[in-house]
Amino acid sequence: MAWTRKLPSGKHQALYRGPDGKVRTVTGGPFVHKAAADRAGAAAEAESRHAGWRDPEASRKTWGEWCAAWWPTRTVAPSTLRTDEGRRDTHLLPRWADTPLCDITRHDIVAWAAHLRLGDTKTGRKPVASETVKRIVHLFSASLNGAIDAEILTTNPAARLKFGGGHVRHGTYLTRAQYADVRKHLDPRWHLVADLLVGTGMRWGEATGLHHARVDHQRRTLEVIDVWQQSGRTMKPYPKGKKPRTVPIPPWIDLPAATTGTCGYSHDTGICHSPLLLTTPNGAILDQSRFRTALNNACDKAEIPHIRIHDLRHTYASWLIQDGISLSDVGKLLGHTSPLTTERYKHLQDEVPDTVTRSLANDPRQAASATPVMERAARRGLRIVHGGA
């Protein structure tokens, strides 16, 4: 049964005992009149008896306190966890650690996200890329969804927030001639690496984690499954998007013959069945920074601006699209789980094909001097030969 208590101020505090046996103070008080306090206490007690009741005091817990309880319950890959820990410690805890869950508003989240994107000249904090801000907010939203599952919150103020205004990077695309020029100046030991990246669209971790057992030499295909994680120095059993894919191997790529043994590196799950396809001469995993340096040197010699390793993947997509392959098929080959990801290449469909450009190269003004006989012959597909009998 609810009851009231008169405070030194003369006002009345309403109290009741919840289903868990704890004494709770009714929110909205204290009350000027005892009757009002009695009614509020009775209503709060009756509400607490209903199914689905939530402790109103639980939402007063700070986000930092909730995060400490929620974080160990997450089931994500080790590499994802390490990345998220950095975002939590750098961006989430400094802003939200001492904020009660019930005081987090949608407006505050939007303002905080804008602050991250713009940076802070006073403190010297650099702006955060728009895509990174989205991932930070997504992590924050996941924590609030956890609070809903724990019946602490009823709504998530970070749900379905959309952020615009970010610069969309389409990536750098090499033409086939440009790639040939870069490859010509690339150290020969990196030729197969570059060819596989640009010829299959694999990410760096997918290419360096490619095992001989995943290559079908007869069908000329490879399965993208194992991924090398540099941070943990282990093999992850699935690519980004958690969906293995099969990719054709272009006929101009010469692959080494299959060998037996193991890769010599730890796998997150299962056991290793074969060596790696791409390794150093002594069988070690390839070093990304060394390949990046070699690629930059080759670009310098070819007089082409530096490209990122990931731009070879963009180049692969651009060649397919310019050759008429649909965006949906390109997305499958790249391993995109959402068609929206492949939309970044949509602008390439609007580019004028080389065949059209070559067709328009003929100067129509040169036809003005043609004789009627020449024009009729041209229409019949004949060639006019001048001079001589």
b/e burial code for range 30-55 (CB count within 10 A of at least 16 → b)? bbeeeebbbebbbebbeebeeeeeeb
Tell me the residue range of the domain where 249 lies.
Answer: 176-348
pLDDT at 214: 95
Longest dimension (CA), the chain: 127
* Structural domains of the chain, count: 3
pLDDT at 372: 55
The answer to whether residues 12 and 109 belong to one domain is no
71 found inside a domain: yes
Q: Which residues of the chain have pLDDT under 70?
A: 19-20, 50-57, 163-171, 349-389
Last residue of a domain, one of 316, 331, 348: 348
- In the block, tokens 């204290």 appear at 30
Question: Residue 134 is part of a domain; what is its CATH number?
Answer: 1.10.150.130
- In the block, tokens 């490879």 appear at 222
pLDDT at 382: 43
- Please state, in angstroms and rounded to a whole number, the distance separating the CA atoms of residues 198 and 111: 41
The answer to whether residues 38 and 67 belong to one domain is no
385 found inside a domain: no
The answer to whether residues 35 and 106 belong to one domain is no
The answer to whether residues 197 and 332 belong to one domain is yes
CA 176 from chain centre, in angstroms, equals: 27
pLDDT at 362: 56
Which of 263-270's residues contact partners 24+ apart within 8 Å by CB, and which partners?
263/211, 263/235, 265/228, 265/233, 265/234, 265/235, 266/233, 266/234, 266/235, 267/226, 267/234, 267/235, 267/237, 268/77, 268/78, 268/234, 268/235, 268/236, 268/237, 269/237, 270/237
The answer to whether residues 45 and 30 belong to one domain is yes
- Please state, in angstroms and rounded to a whole number, the distance separating the CA atoms of residues 101 and 105: 9
- Amino acid code (one letter) for 138: H
The answer to whether residues 120 and 16 belong to one domain is no
Question: Residue 242 is part of a domain; what is its CATH number?
Answer: 1.10.443.10
The answer to whether residues 49 and 74 belong to one domain is no
The answer to whether residues 271 and 299 belong to one domain is yes
The answer to whether residues 48 and 68 belong to one domain is no
Question: Of 33, 309, 53, 64, whose CA–CA distance to 190 is shortest?
Answer: 309
The answer to whether residues 340 and 237 belong to one domain is yes
Supply the pTM of this predicted model.
0.61
- Please state, in angstroms and rounded to a whole number, the distance separating the CA atoms of residues 364 and 375: 13
The residues near 106 (Cβ < 8 Å, ≥ 6 apart) are 157, 158, 161
The answer to whether residues 115 and 257 belong to one domain is no
370 found inside a domain: no
The answer to whether residues 32 and 101 belong to one domain is no
Last residue of a domain, one of 53, 77, 92: 53
270 found inside a domain: yes
90 found inside a domain: yes
171 found inside a domain: no
Q: Interhelix angle for 130-149 vs 63-70, to 10°? A: 80
